[in-house]
Amino acid sequence: MPIETYRLVRNAVATTLQPYQRDFIAFAIEQGVLKFGEFTLKSGRVSPYFFNAGLFQTGRALAKLGRFYAQAIVDSGLQADVLFGPAYKGIPLAAVTAAALADHHDRDMPYAFNRKEAKTHGEGGNIVGAPLSGDILIIDDVITAGTAIREVMGLIEQSGARAGGVIIALDRQERGQGEQSAIQEVQAQYGMPVVSIVTLEQVLTYLEEHAGGEMLAYAEAVRAYRDRYGIAG
């Protein structure tokens, strides 16, 4: 899907929640992956929420997470030849999502991941799994600064393949030092779409739908943070 078309579609459903997206947010809260409170980020900002996909740490949780990623890929309309997980967090994400695509959507997509250090014996190289060819869909948890994506782009280009898009769990929709988010910078630099299971606006919608007691306080705090640091549009 061309990136401009994807932007139009994405903007149209920016706050709409599909049933699987509601389930994902509830699941992330239940697993302690999405927390609310006060969290000091590397940027120095004090965020009212924190998302750590590394806390999906059981077989059942990972299998369920893979199904959410797979559904988001299918809903996005993105087509790819290989699913690629950047080391380290992207490795299990690529594996469980490839399995979910095969089991639940009849899409048997090859997957691969990279080593941080190239292997000099045996099969050698720094790519494990399927050869990188055709259109590559990169899978990760979040994009904070875009550093991991830029590193992966080098590997993809060296292999003669093309990056067709990125799938992440949560789009924070937050400005960096400038007016754009890291995701917007990646989209502008590489001309490819970045798909997320949910956006921060959708998390807000969920909180407001369940606004009572603590949830109401969380919604107000997240909305204030979004108003202060969120991207335009």
Task: Tell me if 213 is assigned to a ligand binding site.
Answer: no
Q: How far is CA 108 from CA 83, 89, 113, 142, 149, in A?
A: 10, 22, 17, 24, 24
Task: Tell me if 35 is assigned to a ligand binding site.
Answer: no
Residues 206 and 22: beta-carbon distance below 8 Å: yes
Task: Tell me if 119 is assigned to a ligand binding site.
Answer: yes
User: Count of residues for the chain?
Assistant: 233
Task: Tell me if 102 is assigned to a ligand binding site.
Answer: no
Q: Is 119 a catalytic residue?
A: yes
Task: Tell me if 135 is assigned to a ligand binding site.
Answer: no
Residues 178 and 196: beta-carbon distance below 8 Å: no
* Residue in 35, 64, 119, 210 annotated catalytic: 119
Give residues with Cβ within 8 angstroms of 62, minimum separation 6.
Answer: 56, 92, 96
Largest Cα–Cα distance of the chain, in whole Å?
58
Task: Tell me if 88 is assigned to a ligand binding site.
Answer: yes
Task: Tell me if 140 is assigned to a ligand binding site.
Answer: yes
* Residue in 35, 105, 121, 210 annotated catalytic: 121
Task: Tell me if 39 is assigned to a ligand binding site.
Answer: no
Q: Is 121 a catalytic residue?
A: yes
DSSP bridge partners of 114: 127
Q: Which residues are known binding-site members for 5-phospho-alpha-D-ribose 1-diphosphate?
A: 42, 88-89, 115-116, 119, 121, 140-148
Q: Which residues are known binding-site members?
A: 42, 50-51, 88-89, 115-116, 119, 121, 140-148, 172
Active site residues: 119, 121
